[in-house]
Amino acid sequence: MPQVVNLVSNDVRRFDEAMPFWVFLWAGPLELAIVVLMISLELGAAAAFAGIAALLALIPLQVGVVLCVTCRRCFPLCGSTSERQEQHACMIAAGLAGTLHRLAAGQDRKVH
């Protein structure tokens, strides 16, 4: 049971960390449309779409850099973090279960 609670808390933590960024799902396209409109009014439609095309062309480069920084080849310890957390949770759960078992059996004093 503790492993399930630990895994659920990890998943909930990810949603909690992602919550501030959900506003960009609607704000990003709206901002893009406003910027394209403003640039096209000032410099013309061709310049606006050329700038947007340049930004969109750089997305694969940005994805490549992020993947290189976070991949397991570059940082091998990052991939095993969740495995270590699960092992740590199992060890703590086993220790607590043993302690509770000893307390329930009345063995709360050390035996010399």
Name the band, by pLDDT with cuts 50, 70 and 90, for residue 67: confident
Residue scoring higher pLDDT (95 or 24): 24
Cα gap 51→69, rounded to integer Å: 27
- The pTM assigned to this predicted structure is 0.48
